[in-house]
Amino acid sequence: MSDHVLLSTAYFPPISWIAAVFQATTTTIEVHETYVKQTYRNRCNILGPNGLQILSIPVKKPYGHHSKTLEIEVSSHYDWKRQHMRSIQTAYNSSPFYLFYKERIEKVLYESHDLLLELNNALLNLISELLGFDPKALFTDTYYHNPDSYTDLRNEISPGKQFHSEDYFSVYTQVFSHKYPFHPDLSILDLLFNEGPASLEYIIKLGNI
């Protein structure tokens, strides 16, 4: 992987996204792309009592299908934050480190953020602090058409793609391991709540993205 990685923004990103940021010397987040729905830009995957669960942020596109990522607004149409925290509690209340991280995550999530990018960036800063590393993230000042000097992962880490084979991800104990087989590359929340301070060591051992 190049020392410079290019990614799309992500809400409580998957482990592979965080690993790419950790391994890169610098991370650049594409914000001038035309916003694409049904991606990690506004959703994350957790493992709950009924299996894989998608948490999705309702958004508003001020310029319709021509809206850029940096223009996407967080909708206040319904109390999605409370719904997400309830789902997270149901999924991870019995995990070893849920209470250790819950209040700090809840605090940032409930802060007022008008733009999706602002919220995701605030959460990235928190997650990086909890993990113990500096993401060194920058934002694009224009759309990068041919980013030759970057490892371009903007469309590679996506809910519709298997970015890595399942055996790339080491197995760790998940809350519902007794009920479901191991689910790799879930939201970083899954790793944090289950592995706690050992989460960064897990990411280090993953090897090159």
pLDDT reported for residue 165: 75
Strand, helix or coil for residue 74:
strand
| 196: helix, strand or coil | helix
Find the range with the poorest average confidence among 1-5, 25-29, 36-40, 174-178.
1-5
11 burial level (CB within 10 Å; 0-12, 13-18, 19+): buried
Q: Indicate the burial class of 117 (C-beta count within 10 angstroms; 0-12, 13-18, 19 or more).
A: buried
Rounded CA-CA distance 177/73 in Å is 36
What 8-state DSSP symbol labels residue 101? H
Quick: pLDDT tens for 61-70: 999 999 999 9
- The rounded distance, in Å, linking the Cα atoms of 161 and 156 is 7
Looking at the predicted structure, is the pLDDT value of residue 122 above 90?
Answer: yes
Q: Which of 18, 25, 10 is nearest to 206 (CA)?
A: 18
pLDDT exceeds cutoff 90 at 174: yes
Q: Is the pLDDT reported for residue 46 higher than 70?
A: yes
pLDDT (0 to 100) of residue 160: 82
CA atoms within 13 A on the CB side of 26: 7
pLDDT at position 199 = 98
Nearest to 154, CA basis, from 4, 6, 1, 2: 6
d(CA 172, CA 121): 27
Average pLDDT over residues 2-30: 95
Tokens 């197995």 appear where? 171
Please give the sequence-ordered ranges of beta strands (E in DSSP) within 77-165, or none if there are none: 137-139, 151-152
pLDDT at 1: 65
> Which of helix, strand or coil describes residue 45?
strand
Query: What would the DSSP string read from start to end of 155-185?
Result: TTS-TTS--S-GGGSPP---TTTTTS----S
